[in-house]
Amino acid sequence: AQTIHQWPVAEIKAVGSPLSLGCTIKGKSSPNLYWYWQATGGTLQQLFYSITVGQVESVVQLNLSASRPKDDQFILSTEKLLLSHSGFYLCAWSLRGLSNERLFFGHGTKLSVL
């Protein structure tokens, strides 16, 4: 069975500090991977997607970056956090593209930037 693990569960960070959020998918070979972000009370927005190792496409510019160093790992990061980065970050996977595949989410990371 496929499992998706996100870390950390929650973070409290200072403005201007760096950030690294991670996501690991087990039980699926070469999944499509995605990062989503939801501001408190807001709509889920897709940030990045990756079809294969080493390739990441940006969907929304939020002064964040993403990398896929391994087939089963997706990292979201920034060198300098902004207050506007606060919110809930979700990693997700699908078997192929989203036009004909279901999307499955991790449990998310709650980020508070102070």
Binding of residue 110 to other proteins (CB under 8 A): yes
Q: How far is the CB of 19 from other proteins (least distance, A)?
A: 18
Q: Length of the chain, please?
A: 114
Residue selected from 39, 59, 82, 114 as contacting other proteins according to rule CB under 8 A: 59
C-beta of 110: minimal distance to other proteins in Å?
7
Among 7, 11, 24, 51, binds other proteins (CB under 8 A): 51
Q: Which helix (H) or strand (E) holds 12?
A: strand 10-13
Q: Which of 95, 108, 114 is closest to 37 using CA atoms?
A: 108
How many residues bind other proteins, per CB under 8 A?
27
Q: From the CB of 69, what's the least distance to other proteins, in Å?
A: 20
Q: Are 71 and 51 in contact (CB under 8 A)?
A: no
The residue from 39, 44, 82, 114 that contacts other proteins (CB under 8 A) is 44
Among 45, 58, 65, 67, binds other proteins (CB under 8 A): 45
Cβ of 43: how many Cβ atoms within 10 Å? 7
**23 and 75 Cβ atoms separated by less than 8 Å:** yes
Q: Looking at 19, 23, 75, 90, which residue binds other proteins (CB under 8 A)?
A: 90
In whole angstroms, give the CA distance from residue 41 to residue 39: 6
